Structure 1
Amino acid sequence: MVPLSDLLIWSLAGVLFGSFISWIPGFHIFNIMALLVAVFGVGELMPVQAFPFFAIGAIVAYAYVSAISSVYFSVADESAVFLLFPTQRYLLLGRGHEAVLLYLIGAVAGTLVLVLGALFIFPKVLPPIYQATSPYITYFLVAIVVFMFMSEWPKEGDRGKTPAERLWLAWRQILGGILVFFLSGILGFIVMNTNLLPTTSAYTRLTPMFIGFFGMSWVILNILSNPPMLEQVPDDRVESSLYNTLKASFGGALGGTIAAVYPIITGGMGALVAGHMTSQRGDDAFIISQGVNRVIYYVGAFTLLFLPQLRLTRGAAAWLVSSIYTPKSYAEYLAAIGVILLSAGISFIFTYYLSRFLANSFNVVHIKKLSYVVAVTLVAISYLLTGPMGLAVLFVSTAIGMMAAAFNTRRSYCLGGLILPVLISMTGHTGYFMHLLGLG
């Protein structure tokens, strides 16, 4: 283990790095970390034993600071107010700062739940639970995917004039979601099981696909949207209740834990299931639960790499770090918990003051200019990590991500790019589908 002074220095460097990156729309900390390792490497700039702590600082910062991009840089036309996430509705009403405060309440609650769980519950409870349930992960995945489609509901307020129009309006989003899921799944299967991308980009071959699904499509929507110029209120007040906060925290913790422990299940999927299990109601509860969920999902999943009794590798960051250095001692596990608390405090302060600054200077024109810069940067990242064919994957995945927006369906259906290939592999049908698609 590195000396404590070096550990603190590199942890703080990770927090600063994550804070600088995470407020920019379309940027994901996993992609930027992969680019950092690919370009600069690890070992010369920092000790390999310090890299996990640098990473955990950056991931904590992302879990907090990404609230800024979700609230202020996810703009949409005011005519779509009933189709938007609660954070977008808050922004249209001039309450963007309040949405960030609600998220921070959830993030702090998630941090406390995670730290207490990591100290007193995870080491003893998680190993037997995971060993008992892991053989059934395939069934869990199938059930969650089916539930995602079953829980889809028509969001448009219009009612068709004819039975055929009403039938189409009722089924359009579900059919669109199914189409997006399977198209993304086919793309993911091709990327994972062929030599479409260079073998030198083994750890980053999925990067252009997910940049297209979630990053580039988001940025393009920002460029195309034409929201009204709104005056934001930077007051430090929230409209919620203690009951809603506690209930939302429980739901977010449940969803985040499910997603952190089990492979392929993402934070959004876990939040969907937990939200229905706990019967969440209200925009404030949704935003708080997302704060809890994202902290436990991102930070908790990475923390499992430090847990000596289990040592699960969950998430792209954990795989990236474990390829360079895997923590080995209980002292490193305790140090990671301390870094989480330190990083959370710094990230909270940074997010709070950045939100106040943006609330006082919010300008949609600036968002569009930033989106153009981000779009060019995302293209450059995809090219640097995966070459020219990575740009082709980026283009196709962006089109699929835009389809989800066109159908007003969940963007999370794009996760079919990961879920479907893994399900095919887990059930032993990879060869059959390779033959079916003419790939082998």
Structure 2
Amino acid sequence: YKAVALAALGSYGAILFCFTLLYPLRFLLGPPIAFYDTIKEVMLWVLFSIVLLMILTEKTRITEFGGSGKLPSLLGILFAAFVFTISGVFGLIIFEAHLASPIGLPAPVLFPALAGLFGIPPLLTSVFTKPTIPHQKVEPLTQNSIEKKSTMVSILTGSTAGIFVSLIPGLTTATGTVLAMNLRQKSSHEQTIVTLSAVNTAATFSVTLMLFLIERARSGVTIAIKDLMPIEPWDSSAMPLELLYLLMFLLLSGALSFFFTLFIGRIFAGKFHIVPYQKLVMFTLLFVCALVLLFTGVFGLMVLLVATSIGFLPLCWGVRRSHCMGVLLLPIILYFLS
């Protein structure tokens, strides 16, 4: 339950922090400063820098070829680069593919690719290792002054990384988490939960804002919003009415979700250990495979299989799974190069 409470705290804190930055971001990214135009001119180098940061900050030590000196750390970095590269090549291949749904549904190639890279491998690992769910401790979240200060830092760094993710094409919250954790340096497991939650919530909040500030849809939700309503650019001090309504809804839903999560989390924590975990995992696997087949056909299942094979690499060797985001980043980098 403490983990649930920390996650809820990180999310709600990120919403409040993002609200305080509404007008600073408006004047920083839009006129008169128009900093986003500057970023676009050096976008290639920004992406290069992010990729290098992701790879060079890999902390996994691969000791199978020797456990002394700098060799294990170097091997960890090299394997991270390998995972990024093979994921990127995979992305270049699948983006040239044309999938078709057997029942006429939209057939996005990223669905089986991302499901295989990030979703299926941990589920299969759970099937093979058969973990058990221990009894959960239901205790109130209490923090001393040092922990409160650390939580505030986690929210600030996570939110900043989430906002940055919403600006740069090809970045996801997984990449934002890497950036935030590098900003935090050392942190406890509790603060890692707060940071992760803040990154995800800030990114979700910010992509909505960026739709009106830089007129770029960085997520599926914002693409849907763009299709459903006219988007008036926020280029003056007055906020567009559509954005105002969306932000009011985000703030209200965030506040309600915070208390609702704490309430439901307390109840669920007491019952969580009775969940038939193995059956749930098997059902999820079958459900994902069925969706892939319905949306992308047999060829989509082949994409899922190859992606799953790549997704197992970081799990087996212990490097960060975020390196698999090469599936998006490498094609985008090559696009800017061309």
Per the normalisation by structure 2, the TM-score is 0.87
CA drift of 1:291 comes to 1.8
CA drift of 1:135 comes to 1.3
Cα 1:272/1:376, change in 2 over 3 Å = same
Matched, 1:332 2:242: yes
Matched, 1:347 2:253: no
Matched, 1:137 2:43: yes
- Distance of 1:249 and 1:194 partners within structure 2: 40
CA drift of 1:365 comes to 6.1
Cα 1:151/1:201, change in 2 over 3 Å = farther
Match of 1:225 among 121, 124, 129: 129
Name the residue aligned to 1:363: 273
> Is contact 1:248-1:280 (8 Å) kept?
no
Aligned residues: percent identity? Answer: 23
Name the residue aligned to 2:221: 317
Match of 1:404 among 301, 310, 314: 314
- Distance of 1:135 and 1:170 partners within structure 2: 34
Name the residue aligned to 1:33: none
- Distance of 1:315 and 1:255 partners within structure 2: 16
Name the residue aligned to 1:427: 337
Name the residue aligned to 2:76: 173
Name the residue aligned to 2:302: 392
**Within 5 A, what are the aligned runs for 1:288-303?**
288-303=194-209
Equivalent position SS for 1:193: coil
Higher relative contact order (CA 8 A, sep 6+): 2
Cα 1:155/1:170, change in 2 over 3 Å = closer
Name the residue aligned to 2:183: 277
Match of 2:100 among 187, 195, 198: 198
Describe the superposition over 1:306-349 as per-residue Cα deviations: whole angstroms up to 9, x where unpaired.
Answer: x2x53221123323443454433711110001110122133223
- Distance of 2:335 and 2:217 partners within structure 1: 18
Describe the superposition over 1:208-246 as per-residue Cα deviations: whole angstroms up to 9, x where unpaired.
Answer: 100111112222222223335522111122446221022
Match of 2:164 among 255, 258, 266: 258
Describe the superposition over 1:240-273 as per-residue Cα deviations: whole angstroms up to 9, x where unpaired.
Answer: 6221022112211211111111211222323322
Cα 1:261/1:269, change in 2 over 3 Å = same
Name the residue aligned to 2:287: 377
Cα 1:253/1:229, change in 2 over 3 Å = closer
> Is contact 1:405-1:411 (8 Å) kept?
yes
Name the residue aligned to 1:105: 9
Equivalent position SS for 2:169: coil
Cα 1:133/1:269, change in 2 over 3 Å = same
Equivalent position SS for 1:361: helix
> Is contact 2:158-2:196 (8 Å) kept?
yes
Describe the superposition over 1:17-57 as per-residue Cα deviations: whole angstroms up to 9, x where unpaired.
Answer: xxxxxxxxxxxxxxxxxxxxxxxxxxxxxxxxxxxxxxxxx
CA drift of 1:416 comes to 0.6
Match of 2:112 among 190, 201, 208: 208
- Distance of 1:366 and 1:155 partners within structure 2: 35
Cα 1:173/1:102, change in 2 over 3 Å = same
Deviates more, 1:221-230 or 1:378-387: 221-230
> Is contact 1:251-1:271 (8 Å) kept?
no
Matched, 1:122 2:122: no
> Is contact 2:118-2:321 (8 Å) kept?
yes
Aligned residues: 324
Gaps of 5+ in 1: 1-96, 429-440
- Distance of 1:293 and 1:170 partners within structure 2: 27
- Distance of 2:132 and 2:220 partners within structure 1: 37
> Is contact 2:162-2:202 (8 Å) kept?
yes
> Is contact 1:229-1:363 (8 Å) kept?
yes
- Distance of 1:232 and 1:315 partners within structure 2: 35
- Distance of 2:257 and 2:137 partners within structure 1: 22
> Is contact 1:203-1:320 (8 Å) kept?
no
Measured on the aligned residues, the alpha-carbon RMSD in Å equals: 2.5
Name the residue aligned to 2:237: none
Equivalent position SS for 1:379: helix
Gaps of 5+ in 2: 234-239
CA drift of 1:403 comes to 1.5
CA drift of 1:168 comes to 6.2
Equivalent position SS for 1:295: helix
Deviates more, 1:146-155 or 1:201-210: 201-210
> Is contact 2:117-2:324 (8 Å) kept?
yes
- Distance of 2:321 and 2:71 partners within structure 1: 20
> Is contact 1:111-1:296 (8 Å) kept?
yes
Describe the superposition over 1:126-162 as per-residue Cα deviations: whole angstroms up to 9, x where unpaired.
Answer: 2212112221111111111111111112358xx77xx
Cα 1:202/1:134, change in 2 over 3 Å = farther
Residue 250 of structure 2 aligns with an amino acid whose one-letter code is I
CA drift of 1:357 comes to 2.7
Residue 416 of structure 1 aligns with an amino acid whose one-letter code is G
